[in-house]
Amino acid sequence: MKTLSNKYSYYLQCFIIAVCFIAMGNVSLAQDNTEVTPVVKNELVKKTFIGNLLIDNQTCMVPVKGVFEFVIQHRFGVINNGYKDFYGLYAPSNIRLGFNYTPIEDLQVGFGFTKERLMWDGNLKYAIIKQSKVGGSPVSVTYYGNFGVDTRPKEGNFVNNADRLSYFHQLIFARKVNKKLSLQVSPSISWFNNVDGYISSDGSIKAKSENLHFGTAFMGCYAVNDNFSVIANYDQPFTQHPTNNPNPNISFGFQVGTATHTFQMFLGNYQSIVPQLNNLYNKNDYSNSQYVIGFNITKR
């Protein structure tokens, strides 16, 4: 019986070993026949726009961490005076000098000083969502906000120092449609602590404008090549004011850009540079050819 038991034990061990080899072969075959799905990295779209500015509005772009910018924004006078002031070039102009810095990824802070109203402004820009090539978000979303301080003399201009303050908030939605074309829409809110007033027929003082103003901007950029682009912008006011409704803005021009410089030259209706001033107080009418020549220079 002992011999017979050993014999059966031997056969059982051989059977188990054979089953294991067959199972291992089947697993290997199954692995060979299984298609491995590659992992697609969520790659972000780059260079939706070349720089921070496009004519009179901010783009969705925030420079990478550590970038410092010096910005010159210049607007001449209206061109419809003709040769009298050489199409606005010798008319009173407006200029802003600005400085921006990106201390951490996706966040830029800056400040500037504008000739009009001797206005200082501080600003902040944050990239909330970035467009992806595959999967992810189909658009980029960026927040831009600023506050302005009108530093003209108090006498004749303000009752309280708080009247000097104004604010601007904007959500920027942008999409790079293809390698050549980028589009953007940017709804905005402007707020002024103090607005101009007038004396009504009953002798009371009434405001010419609402303190709160809604508007939006539409803009696009078409890249002719890596360095040269055609640019356009349209600004539409929404808020209806008592007596001081601003005019829309149409602007168009060209842009030359490199890794460290961006130069834009254009024709448009906006002569103010700080966005809340443009949105609430623009009186230049494109239907009457009240355009100004302007340019932006950014040094990174």
List, for residues 283-299, the tens digit of each pLDDT value: 999 999 899 999 999 99
Secondary structure element (H or E) that encloses residue 257, with its range: strand 249-257
Confidence of residue 24 (pLDDT cuts 50, 70, 90): very low
Q: Do 16 and 139 belong to one domain? A: no
Q: Let me know if residue 285 belongs to a domain.
A: yes
As a whole number, the mean pLDDT across the chain is: 88
From residue 212, how far is each of 30, 96, 193, 238, 278 by CA, in Å? Answer: 67, 24, 9, 11, 14
Q: Do 63 and 32 belong to one domain? A: no
Q: Do 202 and 169 belong to one domain? A: yes
Q: Do 135 and 27 belong to one domain? A: no
From residue 74, how far is each of 29, 116, 143, 232, 293 by CA, in Å? Answer: 71, 11, 24, 17, 9
Q: Let me know if residue 41 belongs to a domain.
A: no
226-245 average pLDDT score = 94
Q: CATH code at 165?
A: 2.40.160.40
Name which residue leads in pLDDT, 169 or 244: 169
Domain ranges, residue 217: 53-299
Nearest to 131 by CA among 32, 45, 215: 45
Residue 102 pLDDT: 97
Distance from C-alpha of 190 to C-alpha of 167, rounded to nearest angstrom: 6
Q: Do 17 and 98 belong to one domain? A: no
Q: Do 17 and 89 belong to one domain? A: no
Q: Do 166 and 288 belong to one domain? A: yes
Q: pTM of the predicted model, to two decimals?
A: 0.83
Residue 81 pLDDT: 87
Q: Do 278 and 144 belong to one domain? A: yes
| 300 SS3 class | coil
18-37 average pLDDT score = 47
Q: Let me know if residue 45 belongs to a domain.
A: no
Residue 19 pLDDT: 44
Q: Do 29 and 85 belong to one domain? A: no
Structural domains in the chain (count): 2
Q: Do 269 and 188 belong to one domain? A: yes
**pLDDT cut 90: percent of the chain above it:** 73
Q: Residue 293 is encoded by which pair of tokens?
A: 């020549």
State yes or no: pLDDT of 65 exceeds 80: yes
Q: Let me know if residue 199 belongs to a domain.
A: yes
Name which residue leads in pLDDT, 43 or 74: 74
Which has the minimum average pLDDT: 42-46, 118-122, 178-182?
42-46
Q: Let me know if residue 270 belongs to a domain.
A: yes
Q: Residue 188 is encoded by which pair of tokens?
A: 């905005």
Confidence of residue 197 (pLDDT cuts 50, 70, 90): confident
Angle at Cα 189 formed by Cα 167 and Cα 44, nearest 5°? 100
